[in-house]
Structure 1
Amino acid sequence: MKKLKVQDLIAVGIYTAIYFLLMSVCLLILRFVIPGFHNLFIPAVTALFSGVIYLILLHKVPKFGAITIMGTVVGLFFLISGHFPLAFLPNMLCALAADLILYHTKITAQVKIMVSYIVFSFGLMGPILPLWFMKNAYIDSLIARGKDDAYINGVFAHTTTAMFALCAVAVLVGAIAGLFIGSRLYDKHFRTADQ
């Protein structure tokens, strides 16, 4: 197993920054398009537009650990930016699982890449999972951050079981479509540069 070198870590940092930028742009657009639902659908929309970044990372740094580092950095960003304290764990765990799928399974390459990207994309649900599974603790954290009842009620206005299912299906569809689009973009604009 090849070990990550300094230049690999720099490359991972660059692609993680681009991933952050895409995620931020998606969030900004969603705030205007579907206000009130934007946080719930940011994982799916980010997955839709980030497939090409994932593919570039896999080709530029084809080593175990690169995906884990990217997911961990994203998770730590959630931790230090005031999200619910456990919001960072899904990013780290899903990224590690994606790495393991990609480099320690014997399924075909295309399937490995697709499954690993789907799993990686589910990591972005970390900040919203507590809305359903740790509601009281999440409310306590919002109160501790000085949020009033109106804000808290707005946060939980759409957190139904059906909405959770819709969010999960949206991430799955977004990741599949995102990797399909990303592979087309990669083949057209980046593959020749890697050869």
Structure 2
Amino acid sequence: MSSTTRSEETPAAARGLSARSLVTIGVFTAIYFVVMFGTGMLGLIGPAVQFVGFLLGALINGTVLMLFMVKTPVMGAMTVLGAVVGLLMLLTGHFWATLLFTTVLGAAADLIVRSGGYRSRSRNCLAYAVFELWMLGPLLPIFYASDSYFADVASSMGQQYADEMQALFTPWLIVVFMAVVFVVSLVSAWIGTRILDRNFAKAGIL
């Protein structure tokens, strides 16, 4: 999994997306979304706990997507995964620009992984951290239409919850939080590579 040049890309990468790789993308997208959505549900406890849920999801999914990148070394895999995640977010009532964020950052992750020949641990980790910045998408209205955003929150979660969230989710804190997400994602991806080495590789799965 050391760094390689683009001329040393895997045979799967050279073939591009296939029916088999699309099935794999579907499976990992489902796992990624269930983990992300499940940990996000912790936010029902309170607005502050949303931050915990976001970070926990990023921590767990580090291993999920590190395995995904190893099992699906194909240009476009992260883009498709991101697009599907974005669509699922739209279907669950999140801001439309989330789809743009997940797709564009998925494409950026694809380019980063490809630049390492699909075997660079450091670039795979960086790709995951970049992709996880899509979490800014659902929160983007806070920067320019906060009143309507928190009015929607109040209609679904109650006025007290909305007021507490508005006091906590300020633009500057969101920016700081995204920086934390990036760092946590890098660390979780690195942990993911260690887990793959100790379990999947030794078991002959990779």
CA contact (8 A) 1:117 1:179 kept: yes
What does residue 181 of structure 1 align with?
191
**Stretch of structure 1 that moved more, 129-138 or 114-123:** 129-138
**Mapped pair 1:5 → 2:18:** yes
What does residue 98 of structure 2 align with?
87
**Which structure 1 residue ranges, 5 or more long, are not aligned?**
none
Number of equivalences: 191
Q: Aligned partner of 2:183: which letter?
A: V
CA contact (8 A) 2:121 2:193 kept: no
- How many angstroms apart in 1 are the aligned matches of 2:28 and 2:82? 11
Q: Aligned partner of 1:165: which letter?
A: V
What does residue 176 of structure 2 align with?
166
SS at match of 2:168: coil
The alignment yields a C-alpha RMSD, in angstroms, of 2.7
Q: Aligned partner of 2:90: which letter?
A: L
Return the offset for 1:105.
Answer: 6.5
**Stretch of structure 1 that moved more, 38-47 or 14-23:** 38-47
- How many angstroms apart in 1 are the aligned matches of 2:68 and 2:76? 11
1:191/1:146 Cα in 2 relative to 1: closer, same or farther (>3 Å)?
closer
**Stretch of structure 1 that moved more, 57-66 or 129-138:** 129-138
Which residue, 25, 30, 40 being the options, matches 1:27?
40
Return the offset for 1:86.
Answer: 1.9
Which residue, 43, 50, 68 being the options, matches 1:57?
68
**Mapped pair 1:135 → 2:146:** yes
Return the offset for 1:31.
Answer: 4.3
- How many angstroms apart in 2 are the aligned matches of 1:137 and 1:31? 20
Which residue, 3, 10, 31 being the options, matches 1:18?
31
- How many angstroms apart in 1 are the aligned matches of 2:110 and 2:123? 10
Which residue, 181, 198, 201 being the options, matches 1:191?
201
What does residue 56 of structure 2 align with?
45
What does residue 118 of structure 1 align with?
129
CA contact (8 A) 2:82 2:106 kept: yes
CA contact (8 A) 1:114 1:176 kept: yes
1:166/1:70 Cα in 2 relative to 1: closer, same or farther (>3 Å)?
same
1:43/1:129 Cα in 2 relative to 1: closer, same or farther (>3 Å)?
farther
Return the offset for 1:100.
Answer: 1.4
| Percent identity between the two aligned chains | 26
Q: Aligned partner of 2:47: which letter?
A: G
Return the offset for 1:93.
Answer: 1.1
- How many angstroms apart in 2 are the aligned matches of 1:154 and 1:7? 46
**Which structure 2 residue ranges, 5 or more long, are not aligned?**
1-13
Return the offset for 1:178.
Answer: 0.6
Using the size of structure 2 for normalisation, the TM-score is 0.79
Superposed CA offset, 1:114-166 (max 9, x none)? 221111111122112222244356357x28x7776555434422122441233
Q: Aligned partner of 2:71: which letter?
A: K
